[in-house]
Structure 1
Amino acid sequence: MKRIVLACVLLLPPLVLSGCQSAYYSAMEKVGIHKRDILVDRVEDTRAAQDDAQAEFVSALEQFRTVVNFEGGELESVYNDMQSAYDDSEAAAESVSDNIRQVEDVAEALFDEWQGELDQYTNTKLRNQSAQTLKETKSRYHALHTSLKRAEAKMQPVLAALKDNTLFLKHNLNARAIGSLKGEFGGIKRDIDRLLAEMQRSIKASDQFIREMQQ
């Protein structure tokens, strides 16, 4: 099924990508995989992406620590390692954001479908029960989404700071530059620590959402 989606993405213009997603959901439903299942899978994927991002940001911080503790050797090599660590962090952050967008897409499709199908009930009691479950599921999702977006927002300032310092080192490969970067390390470490803590809260929220959806 992933090949079908990829083909759509490659062949269709952006304005009709939502139609491609709809075709994907319909195809999956025909084989017994519903939007609810896809939502859980995508939350799990986002959780995994956040795990990877945490590791990359920790690695970038350690590489920055290596730079500010530089005591001699090939400074060009140190810069290359720092650039590589930044690139990996940026890619990991993009993966998190992409996964969040995928979660948002299927959640919107699920809730729109669910809301629309409430009008198909003839049994008022069952309709009311379904409406209540929809309301509760939306509430759980809203809490998760808020946590995901809060963690996502904290990634960009960290990336910006890492990029600034990487660029500075690139154009100032000397001991004086290392001295300047030492003053930046504390602030970046503090921001990364806050980011990691926010990501941990988001991961816990994902775990809770997944458990509740699978009950």
Structure 2
Amino acid sequence: MKHIILSVCLTAPIVLSGCQTAYYSAMEKVGIHKRDILVDRVEDARDAQTDTQEEFQTAYERLVTLTNFDGGEIEKVYNQLNDDYESSEAAAKRVSDKIDAVEDVAEDLFDEWQEELQQYSNQRLRAASERKLKDTERQFNQLLRSMRRAESKMAPILATLKDNVLYLKHNLNAAAIAAIKGEFDSLKTEISALITDMSRAIEDSNEFIDTLKAQG
């Protein structure tokens, strides 16, 4: 059901807001609420980041190989690095899309939660719910910052990686590899930092998922 509605929405972006409402309504009818959808999307984003980590790790290892290159089939090495670049680029795009989807449903969930606070007649329960809302928002904002921090590092790395791939494409010789070894060393450092940031975002994702599931 949710995949059918989502497909319709994606083919008609001009009515995206209406589609979101219809999507939430349809999901609620089968017992799936915004909180559940948010958990699913955070899990999807976490898994996408894990996959992307692996892609960038592969690129990192390829750069190490190139840095230590001492002869062999340079065209083969170029093709492997180009494959690494294309896979990393596609994985990075998936991560960005998943983070956007997480942010969308989180905003809708928190807006709904805030509005429903006004429906309480018991002030004690209202205050308790409001505290839980603020705590959940605070934890989510930390998660989103972690995700966006890692995301922001991907584009510059991909741009540098593409430059190196293009350079090798038109200079398939050992001298070309030697000429950009300094670029490789810098790129390895940047990729290593990205992988660390992604690990932090994945940990934050797991903690946030645990929090939402505990709230039940």
Structures share fold, TM-score greater than 0.5: yes
Give 1:185-196 correspondences, 5 Å limit. Answer: 185-196=184-195
SS in 2 for 1:142: helix
- Structure 1 unaligned blocks of 5 or more: none
2:4 counterpart of 1:3: yes
Q: State the Cα deviation string for residues 18-54 of structure 1 (Å, max 9, x = none).
A: 3222211111111001101111111111111111011
Normalised by the size of structure 1, how large is the TM-score? Answer: 0.94
1:105 equivalenced with 2:104 (yes/no): yes
* Alignment partner, residue 164 of structure 2: 165
Number of the residue aligned with 2:176: 177
User: Do residues 53 (structure 1) and 48 (structure 2) align?
Assistant: no
Distance 2:138 2:9 in 1: 32
> Given residue 66 of structure 1, which amino acid in structure 2 is its aligned partner?
T
Match of 1:123 in 2: 122
One-letter code aligned to 1:9: L
Question: Which amino acid letter does the alignment assign opposite residue 7 of structure 2?
Answer: L
Q: CA deviation at 1:16?
A: 2.1
Could you tell me how far apart the structure 2 residues matched to 1:138 and 1:43 are?
14
The list of structure 1 runs, each at least 4 consecutive aligned residues, that deviate by more than 6 angstroms after superposition, is none
- Partners of 2:146 and 2:158 in 1: how far apart? 19
* DSSP 3-state at the match of 1:172: coil
Retained in 1: the 8 A contact 2:42–2:209? yes
Identify the range of structure 1 (57-66 vs 187-196) with the bigger mean alpha-carbon deviation: 57-66
The 5 Å alignment of 1:20-59 reads: 20-59=19-58
CA drift of 1:68 comes to 3.4
**Is contact 2:63–2:188 with CA below 8 Å preserved after alignment?**
no
The 3-state SS of whatever aligns with 1:92 is helix
Q: Single out whichever of 75-84 and 23-32 deviates more from structure 2.
A: 75-84
Aligned AA (1:174): N
Deviations 1:127-153 (A, max 9, x none): 222112111111111111111111111
Counterparts of 2:17 and 2:171 in 1: how far apart (Å)? 47
User: Which digits, 9 at most, give the CA deviation of each residue in 1:82-127, with x for residues without a partner?
Assistant: 1110000011111111110010010011011111111222222222
Aligned residues: 213
5+ residue gaps, structure 2, are none
SS of 2:127's equivalent in the other structure is helix
Q: Tell me the equivalent position of 1:87.
A: 86
Aligned residue number for residue 96 of structure 1: 95
* TM-score for both structures, normalised by structure 2: 0.93
User: Partner letter of residue 4 of structure 2?
Assistant: R
**For residue 98 of structure 1, what is the amino acid of its counterpart?**
D
When the two chains are superposed, the root-mean-square deviation of aligned CA atoms in Å is 1.4
Which is further off, 24-33 or 69-78? 69-78
Q: Distance in 1 between matches of 2:17 and 2:159?
A: 31
The match for 1:132 is 131
Once residues 179 and 156 of structure 2 are traced to their aligned partners in structure 1, the CA distance between those partners, rounded to angstroms, is 19
Shift of 1:209: 0.9
